[in-house]
Amino acid sequence: MTSKPYLTGHYTPVADEVTATELTVEGALPPELTGRLIRNGHNPKPGITPTHWFKGSGMVHGIRLREGRAEWYRNRWVHTPALDGAPYMTEQGPDLTASTAGTHVIEHAGRLLALCEANLPFELTPELETVGAYDFGGRLRSAMTAHPKEDPQTGELHFFSSSPFPPYLIHHVASADGQVLDSQEVPGATAALKHDFALTEHHVVFLEGSVTFDPSEHSGIPYGWSDAQPSRIGVLPRGAGGAGRVRWYEIGQGFAMHLANAYEDARGRIVIEGPSVGRDGWRRSWNWWVGAPDRGAEPTSGSRGRRWTVDPATGRTGEEESDDLTVEFPTINEAFTGREHRYQYALAFPDDRGVGRHTLVKYDRVTGERRLRPFGAGQLPSEAVFVPAAGATEEDAGYLLTVVGDLDAGASRLLVLDAGDPALAPVATVHLPRRVPAMIHGSWIPDAALTGPGQRAGR
């Protein structure tokens, strides 16, 4: 039996693709929840043991809701060349289509895209079948981050390509209708790992932490912690030629895998928030990801909420720990992307600081209050996806969607929680036909979004 943690427990892959219709619902699904919750994660084929959690082939799981009904659940592998064993490196160089496509799934301009940061995105149909690699009509000739950001005001999609070899960082912008408008190499970037980034109203913000290219790492993901790698924040003005005016600001050692948001405050300072780890936390997490000894029980170890502040006028930076829980997968109401938000959500993992079970956390950044919704033994919730209520005027007026795996029951369910108070009884529960493995990221995609140039017939 394998000892790889990412193939056991909540992370045990499923061996097949299924479709189930007319799912059982407890409570009442709000009628505005008409669309699809699609989640993505690593699910290698039976008999395959990847050398790193992130090397497992991608599988998407979808739940179709419409006008108070749960019409279907289905799961599908993303059928890329890598699923059938094609190597990423060839004699001609990297094959950007040889992707796991297993980190995230988004919608932009009517297209569903499964993402992995080392490769091109893969387009899916609304029924989750694979269409193929998508390169924005030939305009994208590099990899695409798994964490693009859509500006809620303009509809523009910002994303980047990061590489351990020059060019280290390229910033891209696509229009609301899916046309690549601009691609700029970012001066001063290094081989440091860049997994996520942030937008503000006037800037694009990159974090380079203390994790950088390590040629001695043989897991297939060639990165490692380096005390010699400076941690920095890069601030790039949005708009044509902005990359040439990027400024880099040094901060303390650490690494942030995911960012909650960034914004410009009333004094013109740039504020960035998200969980961060230090050297020991990174190494424990890495050991979990590769299945090495001296690892924690979870894929995140010692990841604490953090806030960085950059003052472009003075060049000063500041940082502080914003919370003492071990948290990851921060989310917000995405209508506030790039603008100051009040509420933030995250998953808290069991640790030695008072949280004994997996817990959904809601933060109020104005009052400092945090509300906890702990889950039962053997239960693991997914990243909380915010969906606004119909006619909402308050930032937290809406729902949190989370898929909860239950090891003891060998089953999973979708919870629809009141985002105003996630500790309340669920608004609705959808019982899924199988245990859904722990995924990484996902999106709520309303039917109205599937009306752009990439629209394909779907039910």
The annotation status of 258 as a binding-site residue, yes or no, is yes
- Token pair, residue 435, equals 């245990």
* 171 marked among binding-site residues: no
Q: Which amino acid is at 197?
A: F
Rounded Cα gap, residues 415 and 418, in angstroms: 10
* Displacement of CA 264 from its chain's centroid (Å): 23
Residue found under tokens 């390590």: 214
Q: Please write down the HEC assignment for all residues of the chain.
A: CCCCHHHCHHHCCCCCCCEEECCCEEECCCCCCCEEEEEEEECCCCCCCCCCHHHCCEEEEEEEEECCEEEEEEEEECCCHHHHCCCCEECCEECCCCCCCCCEEEEECCEEEEECCCCCCEEECCCCCEEEECCCCCCCCCCCCCCCEECCCCCCEEEEEECCCCCCEEEEEECCCCCEEEEEECCCCCCECCCCEEECCCEEEEEECCEEECCCCCCCCCEEECCCCCEEEEEEECCCCHHHHCEEEEECCCECCCCCEEEECCCCCEEEEEEEECHHHHHHHHHHHHCCCCCCCCCCCCCEEEEEEEECCCCEEEEEEEEEEEEEEEECCHHHCCCCCCEEEEEECCCCCCCCCCEEEEEECCCCCEEEEECCCCEEECCCEEEECCCCCCCCCEEEEEEEEECCCCEEEEEEEECCCCCCCCCEEEECCCCCCCCCEEEEEEHHHCCCCCCCCCC
202 known member of a binding site: no
Token representation of residue 459: 């039910």
Annotated binding-site residue? 61: no
Q: Which segments are annotated as binding site for Fe cation?
A: 147, 195, 258, 441
